Amino acid sequence: MRFLDNDGLELIRINFNMANPESVSRDKLQSKKYRYYFTESIGKPPGTIYSSPLDLNIENKIIELPLKPTIRFASSVSSSDGKIFGIVILNYLARNLLDDFRRVSAGYPGHAILLNWQGYTLLSPESAQDWGFMFPDSAQEGINVKHAEAWQTVQDKNIGQVLNNKGLYTFDFVHPSGEELKQYCSSCLRILLHIPSQLVQAKLWQKLSQILPVILFSLSFLVIILGIALWNRLKRSVNELQIQSLNQQISYEHDLFLNGPGIIAKLRNELGWPVEFISSNVQDLLGYEASRFTNGELTFSNIIDPEYLSQYSQETNQADVDRVESFKRSLYKIIDQHNRTKWIQDNTHIIRDKMGRLTHFFGYIRISQRHNIQLCAA
């Protein structure tokens, strides 16, 4: 929570600080004069509330790590005669919102995607593309390009369905401030549910395309409900077999490498690459307790040198596009518990679900002694 004067300078700032609020000292207050949420909210009339787009928090002109998806709500402070003294800004950490979206859409048979107003993904099955608009140097392909025909309908109608040769799209929008949708709404979030055409028999889709729109909507909704039920049943069966196989593999690798020079880790292909399993020798090699990863306190992105985050993401995305089962990453650096950088060699095995979507990595991570000796010598 912050109070900014008319020039965009922070006069008061209270940090959340993991549910232990603390006031920031005056020498650490920052100027937000050129941040868009200040320039757009300072001109709003008293009594109105401005809500920003959902994006990643930036501190001192650098994207904060671990990534903090944030929505900002702002309102001006004025005297009885209408003179504005500044604005109050509340930062809402949107992790709960994204976790709820992920949980609710987990059983959906197609792709559940959360978008910003420009058509860039915030949460999607292709997590390497998420938040791409915040990293202009990375390769990007928004929904407005990949699904251009459907995206045009989404923009024109805001709520509804569209059927084309790529499948069925169901879409809606959410305005964080609760205001009615306007023609231009940069803070709106769009929800897109896509069922690829190959999942539905071609004959059924041909019949559905010929009947009245109201019947099309009703039958399409029924297909979605039945698809969800069948998918959940199939997914439970596949997951049980996959989990059993992975647990056996992890147990074997754990025993084999527990006291060795390498770290065994299983990562989810989600924001920040959360860690589901990591061998206990991570404490001997890097100084971190394994429980800090498995309880969610640390994700794998937390220990990657920021200079190599883009490389790590791009190589993961390329391996997914190439449909490889395993690959060897280029050398990259990580930061140990004592804030020292170390060169890493990483052999990664890709895990996919029944539909072929990349869901996890299972990797053997070794510290490159040769390159670290060169680093120390330098």
Report helix, strand or coil for 139: coil
Q: What is the pLDDT averaged over residues 29-41?
A: 88
Model confidence over 360-376: pLDDT tens digits?
988 889 988 665 555 45
Model confidence over 263-310: pLDDT tens digits?
999 999 999 999 999 999 999 999 999 999 999 999 999 999 999 999
Let me know: does 365 contact 281? Beta carbons within 8 Å: no
Are residues 267 and 356 both part of a single domain? yes
The verdict on residue 297 lying in a domain is yes
The total of structural domains in the chain comes to 3
- Looking at 61, 93, 125, which one is the last position of a domain? 93
pLDDT at 203: 47
What lies within 8 Å, CB to CB, of 316 at 6+ separation is 128, 269, 358, 361
Write out the E strands in 134-237. 160-164, 167-174, 189-196
Which range of residues forms the domain containing residue 299?
Answer: 258-377
Q: What is the pLDDT averaged over residues 225-236?
A: 77
First to last CA, the chain: 44
pLDDT bracket for residue 154 (50, 70, 90): confident
- Looking at 199, 227, 250, which one is the last position of a domain? 199
Model confidence over 188-207: pLDDT tens digits?
888 888 888 777 555 465 56
The verdict on residue 314 lying in a domain is yes
Backbone angles phi, psi at 107, to 5 degrees: -90, 5
The verdict on residue 74 lying in a domain is yes
Is the pLDDT confidence value at 259 over 60? no
Model confidence over 328-354: pLDDT tens digits?
999 999 999 999 999 998 999 999 998
The verdict on residue 19 lying in a domain is yes
Are residues 182 and 282 both part of a single domain? no
pLDDT at 287: 93
d(CA 117, CA 328): 37
d(CA 123, CA 116): 10
The verdict on residue 83 lying in a domain is yes
Is the pLDDT confidence value at 120 over 60? yes
pLDDT at 209: 65
pLDDT at 208: 58
pLDDT at 309: 93
The verdict on residue 210 lying in a domain is no
Half-sphere exposure of 241 (CA within 13 A, CB side): 6
Q: What is the pLDDT averaged over residues 76-81?
A: 86
Are residues 268 and 280 both part of a single domain? yes
pLDDT at 294: 93
